[in-house]
C-alpha cells in the first residue's frame, strides 16, 4: 500500500541516507551478531554487559562500543546488532562463540465479510458449530503483530466489556501519552534504531508506536479486532468488521517506518528486538506480514527469531509475499513458520462502466459516486498528453504527464502498470478529471481490485479494457458513466488464488513445500489510521499481508480450545483440514484460470471449523527442527549454540528433510525408489483410519500400513510411503498428488509434490 506515503518523506529519507552514510560512518555498516540461544542462566543485565564486553574485546575502545551498539538481544535471542567496519565484522564472524554475522537488511511489508466466507458465521448468525463459539471468540488469547504500529483510538481496539488483563502478561504500552493501552490493546512498543542505522535518522516525533501508515492497524484488527458494526467506505456499506479472534487481547510491536527509495521499511535489527521483547512479554500468537527474499537460515533474522518464539510455544504466522505468480518467489520459508498465501473471497464491490453504445463492463471499486447522474465525456489518457510528456507516461497517468485543459470534467481512461493504482486516480483528480477507469494491462489479465480511489473510479479487466479502448477510437464523442460501487456476495468461483501471491518452490529448502496454506487476502476490510494524511477509520486492502492475520486470528481460536497443542500441531490441523476446492466443488483456480497447485495454495484455503477437530496431527518438536538443520548441512556445534542446549545430530543415514514430520510431502529430485516416513498423533477419540492416495501423474506411491488403528487419544503411529516413477510417463518439472487418511468422520489431507532428478 503505497498511497499514503508522501513523496516528501522519501526525499527527506534519501537526503538523510546520503548524509548518514557519507559523513557519519565511513565504510561502516550495521550488522547482526547472532550468538544463538541462552544457555548460561545469566540475568538480563549480565547478558547485556557480556555483549558490551565481547564487542569491546573486538573493537578495542570502550567509547566506540557505546557508539557502535544498536541493540543487545538479551532475553530469548542471544546476540546484538552494531555498527561495524568490515574488519570487525569478519573478526566477529570467526570467533568461536558466534553463530553468524550478517548485514542488517531492509524488509518490505506485504501489502470483512471474509469470516462469513470462512464459515465462522452465516449471514451474520454464529451457530453452535462455529469455532468462534467453541473458542469463546479467542477470549484471553494474546495476539501481537510486528508492523507499522497501531491506531489506538480505533473502535476495533476499544475495551468495552473486557475484564482485567491476563495475569501472565508482562508487556504494556511504552508511552501512555502517545499510545494509551486499555484492556483490549494491552501492548504497544516501537523499535527504530535498526532503521536509523540503515536508512538514516527519523524525526523524534516518530518515536512512538502510533500507526501513521494504516497497515499495522489493518493487520492487527484482522487478527484480533472487535466486532464493529456499521462500517462503510466512501458511503458504501460494508457491514460489521471483526477479527479472527474478536475477543482476543492485542499488542503492537512497531518495527516498520516510512518506506525508503529502495522499498525497505523495516529492518532485521528492529525485528529481532521486537521478537525478543514480545516473547518475553508473553504473547501467544505473532503475526508478521513482511519479508525479504529468503536467505540462508542463519543469515535471516526472521528465521532465527521465529525459531526462538516457537521454542517457547508461540505460534508464528508469516505472509508468503506478493511477488507471484512467478515461481520460486515465496519468502519466509523456514519449516517452523506458518507461511500464508492469499486467495479471494466470494464478495465483490462492483462498479460498472456504462457506455452510450456498446457493452456494459464490470469493474471493481470502493470509490465515491459520480456527482451527476448523466453521461460524461470519456478520454483516453494518451490523448491528454502534456506537451513535454511521453505517450507511455500519459497513458499510464503518471504524475506530470497530463494536460489539465484536456482532462477537465472528463472520465479519464488510464492503463495499469508503472505506478500505483490509486496514485493514477490522484494524478487524474489533480488534472481535473471527474472520474477514472483503470484498465488492466496484459500482464494483470483478469485480476481487478476494489480500491478506495480519490475520485469516482472503477477497475476493469484486460479484455474489457480492449473493448473500452476500441469504443474510444470508434467515435469522436465517446460518452460513459461509472455506477456507484455495490457489494455483491456469493460470487463464484471462490476462493481462487490471487495472482500476486508468491509461489513455490521453496528456493532455500526445495524439500519443504511453501507456502503452507492460503487465506483471504483480496479486498479485505479492516481498521485503518486516522492520521492527518489518511483519515479513514476502515479501509480495504489486498496482499498476503492481509491473509497472514486471518490465520493468526484462527490460531488464537485453536489455542483457546487446545491449549496443549504445539505450534506444529496447530499448523498441521490448519493444513490437513484446508479446502483445495472452491464453492462450485471444483479444484481451486489460479487467477490465470488454470488449476491452482500446492506451489500457490499450499494445502488449500483455511477451514477453521474443521481445523479445531482434525482427528490426527503431524506433530514436531524443537529437536526435529534441529535434526532437519543437521540434514541441511549445519553442524552440531552450531546447532547447540542455536538451541542453547546440548544436542546431537542424528546418524548420518537418517534423512531428516524427507522425514521431517511435516503435514505436506515433498520428494525433491526423485531417483529410483524413495521411502518417506511420517508419524500421526491421534488428538480425538479412538478411531480406525484408512489411507487413500491420489498419486502424481507418472508416480507410484505405496503406503504401508494402509490402516492405522488408534486405540486412545495421544497415541502416535508411523507409516511409510514408497515413491517411485511408474514408468508410464516421462516426468518434467513438478507433479502433484494428495495423501488422505480418513476414519469416515475426519479427512487428514496432505499435498504430495514430486520432482524427478
Ligand X SMILES: *[C@@H]1O[C@H](CO)[C@@H](O)[C@H](O)[C@H]1NC(C)=O
List, by residue number, the catalytic residues.
147, 215, 545
530 binds ligand X (CB under 6 A): no
Shortest reach from residue 668's CB to ligand X, in Å: 15
| CB atoms near residue 678 (< 10 Å) | 20
Q: How many residues bind ligand X (CB under 6 A)?
A: 11
Nearer to ligand X, 131 or 725 (CB): 725
Residue from the set 357, 594, 637, 671 that interacts with ligand X by CB under 6 A: 637
Is residue 244 helix, strand or coil? coil
Residue from the set 19, 490, 635, 711 that interacts with ligand X by CB under 6 A: 635
Instruction: Identify the helix (H) or strand (E) that includes residue 219.
Output: helix 215-224
638 binds ligand X (CB under 6 A): yes
Nearer to ligand X, 283 or 723 (CB): 723
In whole angstroms, what is the distance from residue 661 CA to residue 619 CA?
A: 7
The alpha-carbon radius of gyration of the chain (Å, integer) is 26
Nearer to ligand X, 35 or 429 (CB): 35
Shortest reach from residue 28's CB to ligand X, in Å: 24
In whole angstroms, what is the distance from residue 121 CA to residue 226 CA?
A: 15
- For 482-513, give the DSSP string: EPPPEEE---SS--BB-TTS-----SS-TTS-
Sign of CA dihedral 478, 481, 482, 483: negative
Nearer to ligand X, 175 or 299 (CB): 175
Binding segment for ligand X (CB under 6 A), chosen from 113-121, 122-130, 459-467, 631-639, is 631-639
234 binds ligand X (CB under 6 A): no
Window 177-206: residues binding ligand X (CB under 6 A): 177-178
By rule CB under 6 A, what string of x and - marks binding of each residue 545-584 to ligand X?
----------------------------------------
Sign of CA dihedral 546, 548, 554, 555: negative
Q: Is the peptide bond before 495 cis (omega within 30 degrees of 0)?
A: yes
In whole angstroms, what is the distance from residue 363 CA to residue 463 CA?
A: 12
Residue from the set 208, 259, 343, 580 that interacts with ligand X by CB under 6 A: 208
In whole angstroms, what is the distance from residue 562 CA to residue 135 CA?
A: 9
Continuous H helices in 494-605: 544-561, 567-576, 598-601
Binding segment for ligand X (CB under 6 A), chosen from 173-181, 361-369, 387-395, 410-418, is 173-181
Tell me if 476 sits within 8 A of 535, measured CB to CB.
Answer: no
Q: Where are the beta strands (DSSP E) in 148-260?
A: 185-190, 228-233, 236-241, 249-254
Length of the chain as a residue count: 757
Shortest reach from residue 150's CB to ligand X, in Å: 14
64 binds ligand X (CB under 6 A): no
| Nearest residue to 735 via CA among 675, 661, 678, 665 | 665
Binding segment for ligand X (CB under 6 A), chosen from 14-22, 25-33, 39-47, 630-638, is 630-638
| CB atoms near residue 66 (< 10 Å) | 11
Nearer to ligand X, 298 or 528 (CB): 298
Enter the DSSP assignment of 419. Answer: B
Shortest reach from residue 629's CB to ligand X, in Å: 11
Binding segment for ligand X (CB under 6 A), chosen from 134-142, 174-182, 676-684, 744-752, is 174-182
Shortest reach from residue 84's CB to ligand X, in Å: 19
Nearer to ligand X, 111 or 208 (CB): 208
175 binds ligand X (CB under 6 A): yes
Sign of CA dihedral 127, 137, 682, 601: positive
Nearer to ligand X, 167 or 177 (CB): 177
Q: Which residues pair with 595 in a beta bridge?
A: 589
Q: Residue 174: CB partners within 8 Å, gap ≥ 6? A: 188, 189, 190, 208, 209
39 binds ligand X (CB under 6 A): no
Window 711-740: residues binding ligand X (CB under 6 A): 722
Shortest reach from residue 701's CB to ligand X, in Å: 13
Shortest reach from residue 207's CB to ligand X, in Å: 6
- The vertex-285 CA angle with 284 and 286, nearest 5°, equals 130
In whole angstroms, what is the distance from residue 439 CA to residue 444 CA?
A: 9
Shortest reach from residue 96's CB to ligand X, in Å: 8
622-631 vs 301-311: helix axis angle to the nearest 10? 150
Window 669-688: residues binding ligand X (CB under 6 A): 673, 675
| Nearest residue to 573 via CA among 719, 692, 683 | 683
Window 578-617: residues binding ligand X (CB under 6 A): none
| CB atoms near residue 299 (< 10 Å) | 17
Tell me if 157 sits within 8 A of 267, measured CB to CB.
Answer: no
Binding segment for ligand X (CB under 6 A), chosen from 130-138, 175-183, 509-517, 732-740, is 175-183
Shortest reach from residue 635's CB to ligand X, in Å: 4
Nearer to ligand X, 123 or 177 (CB): 177
Nearer to ligand X, 152 or 282 (CB): 152
Nearer to ligand X, 713 or 722 (CB): 722
Shortest reach from residue 93's CB to ligand X, in Å: 9
Nearer to ligand X, 11 or 707 (CB): 707
State how far Cα 563 lies from the chain centre.
24
Structure-block grid coordinates of residue 203: 524525526
| CB atoms near residue 663 (< 10 Å) | 29
Binding segment for ligand X (CB under 6 A), chosen from 32-40, 130-138, 438-446, 632-640, is 632-640
378-408 burial code (b ≥16 CB/10 A, e <16)? bbbbbbbbbeebeeebbbbbbeebbbeebbe
207 binds ligand X (CB under 6 A): yes
| Nearest residue to 139 via CA among 183, 188, 189 | 183
476 binds ligand X (CB under 6 A): no
653 binds ligand X (CB under 6 A): no
93 binds ligand X (CB under 6 A): no
Binding segment for ligand X (CB under 6 A), chosen from 133-141, 172-180, 433-441, 479-487, is 172-180
Shortest reach from residue 633's CB to ligand X, in Å: 9
Task: Return residues touching ligand X (CB under 6 A).
Answer: 175, 177-178, 207-208, 635, 637-638, 673, 675, 722
Amino acid at each position: 500500500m503505497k498511497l499514503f506515503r508522501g513523496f516528501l518523506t522519501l526525499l527527506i529519507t534519501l537526503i538523510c541516507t546520503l548524509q548518514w552514510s557519507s559523513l557519519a560512518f565511513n565504510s561502516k555498516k550495521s550488522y547482526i551478531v547472532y550468538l544463538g540461544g541462552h544457555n548460561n542462566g545469566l540475568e538480563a543485565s549480565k547478558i547485556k554487559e557480556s555483549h558490551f564486553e565481547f564487542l569491546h574485546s573486538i573493537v578495542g575502545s570502550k567509547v566506540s562500543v557505546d557508539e557502535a551498539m544498536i541493540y543487545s538481544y538479551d532475553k530469548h535471542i542471544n546476540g546484538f546488532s552494531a555498527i561495524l567496519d568490515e574488519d570487525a565484522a569478519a573478526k566477529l564472524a570467526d570467533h568461536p562463540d558466534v553463530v553468524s554475522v550478517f548485514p542488517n537488511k531492509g524488509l518490505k511489508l506485504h501489502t470483512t465479510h471474509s469470516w462469513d466466507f470462512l464459515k465462522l458465521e452465516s449471514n451474520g448468525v454464529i451457530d453452535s458449530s462455529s469455532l468462534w463459539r467453541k473458542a469463546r471468540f479467542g477470549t484471553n488469547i494474546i495476539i501481537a503483530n510486528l508492523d507499522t504500529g497501531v491506531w489506538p483510538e480505533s473502535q476495533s481496539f476499544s475495551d468495552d466489556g473486557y475484564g482485567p488483563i491476563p495475569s501472565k502478561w508482562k508487556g504494556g504500552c511504552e508511552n501512555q501519552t502517545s499510545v494509551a493501552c486499555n484492556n483490549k490493546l494491552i501492548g504497544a512498543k516501537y523499535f527504530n534504531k535498526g532503521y536509523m542505522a540503515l536508512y538514516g535518522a527519523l524525526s523524534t516525533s516518530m518515536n512512538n508506536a502510533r500507526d501513521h501508515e494504516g497497515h499495522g492497524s489493518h493487520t492487527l484488527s484482522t487478527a484480533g479486532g472487535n466486532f464493529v458494526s456499521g462500517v462503510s467506505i466512501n458511503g458504501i456499506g460494508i457491514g460489521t468488521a471483526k477479527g479472527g479472534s474478536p475477543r482476543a487481547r492485542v499488542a503492537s510491536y512497531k518495527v516498520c517506518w516510512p518506506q525508503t527509495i529502495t522499498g525497505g521499511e523495516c529492518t532485521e535489527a528492529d525485528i529481532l528486538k521486537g521478537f525478543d521483547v514480545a516473547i518475553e512479554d508473553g504473547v501467544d500468537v505473532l503475526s508478521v506480514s513482511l519479508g525479504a527474499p529468503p536467505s540462508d537460515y542463519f543469515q535471516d533474522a526472521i528465521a532465527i527469531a521465529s525459531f526462538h518464539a516457537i521454542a517457547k510455544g508461540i505460534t508464528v504466522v508469516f505472509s508468503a509475499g506478493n511477488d507471484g505468480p512467478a515461481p520460486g518467489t515465496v519468502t519466509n520459508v523456514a519449516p517452523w513458520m506458518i507461511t500464508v498465501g492469499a486467495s479471494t473471497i466470494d464478495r465483490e464491490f462492483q462498479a460498472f462502466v456504462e457506455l452510450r453504445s456498446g457493452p456494459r463492463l464490470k469493474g471493481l471499486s470502493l470509490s465515491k459516486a459520480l456527482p451527476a447522474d448523466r453521461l460524461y465525456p470519456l478520454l483516453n489518457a494518451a490523448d491528454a498528453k502534456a506537451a513535454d510528456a511521453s505517450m507511455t507516461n500519459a497513458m499510464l497517468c503518471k504524475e506530470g504527464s497530463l494536460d489539465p485543459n484536456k482532462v477537465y470534467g472528463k472520465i479519464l481512461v488510464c492503463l495499469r502498470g508503472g505506478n500505483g493504482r490509486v496514485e493514477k486516480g490522484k494524478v487524474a483528480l489533480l488534472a481535473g478529471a471527474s472520474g477514472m477507469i483503470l484498465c488492466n494491462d496484459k500482464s494483470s489479465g483478469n485480476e481487478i481490485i476494489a480500491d478506495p480511489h480519490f475520485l469516482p473510479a472503477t477497475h476493469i479487466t484486460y479484455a474489457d479494457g480492449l473493448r473500452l479502448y476500441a469504443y474510444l477510437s470508434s467515435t469522436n464523442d465517446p460518452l460513459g458513466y461509472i455506477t456507484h460501487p455495490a457489494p455483491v456476495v456469493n460470487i463464484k468461483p471462490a476462493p481462487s488464488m490471487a495472482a500476486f501471491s508468491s509461489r513455490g518452490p521453496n528456493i532455500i529448502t526445495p524439500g519443504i513445500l511453501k507456502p503452507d496454506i492460503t487465506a483471504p487476502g483480496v479486498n479485505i476490510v479492516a481498521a485503518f489510521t486516522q492520521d492527518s494524511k489518511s483519515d479513514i477509520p476502515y479501509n480495504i486492502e489486498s496482499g498476503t499481508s492481509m491473509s497472514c492475520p486471518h490465520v493468526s486470528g484462527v490460531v488464537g481460536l485453536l489455542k483457546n480450545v487446545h491449549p496443549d497443542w504445539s505450534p506444529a500441531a496447530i499448523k498441521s490441523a490448519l493444513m490437513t483440514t484446508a479446502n483445495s476446492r472452491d464453492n462450485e466443488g471444483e479444484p481451486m483456480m489460479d487467477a490465470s484460470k488454470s488449476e491452482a497447485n500446492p506451489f500457490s495454495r499450499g494445502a488449500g484455503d483455511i477451514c477453521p471449523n474443521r481445523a479445531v477437530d482434525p482427528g490426527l496431527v503431524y506433530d514436531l518438536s524443537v529437536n526435529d527442527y534441529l535434526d532437519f538443520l543437521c540434514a541441511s548441512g549445519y553442524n552440531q556445534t552450531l546447532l547447540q549454540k542455536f538451541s542453547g542446549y546440548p544436542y546431537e545430530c542424528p546418524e548420518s543415514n537418517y534423512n531428516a528433510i524427507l522425514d521431517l514430520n511435516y503435514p505436506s510431502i515433498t520428494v525433491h529430485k526423485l531417483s529410483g525408489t524413495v521411502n518417506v516416513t511420517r508419524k500421526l498423533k491421534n488428538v480425538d477419540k479412538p478411531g480406525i483410519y484408512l489411507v487413500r492416495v491420489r498419486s502424481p501423474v507418472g508416480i507410484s506411491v505405496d503406503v504401508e500400513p494402509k490402516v492405522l488403528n488408534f486405540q486412545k487419544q495421544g497415541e502416535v503411529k508411523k507409516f511409510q510411503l514408497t515413491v517411485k516413477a511408474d514408468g508410464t510417463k516421462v516426468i518434467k518439472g513438478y507433479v502433484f498428488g494428495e495423501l488422505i487418511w480418513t476414519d469416515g468422520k475426519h479427512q487428514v489431507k496432505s499435498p504430495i509434490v514430486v520432482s524427478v532428478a
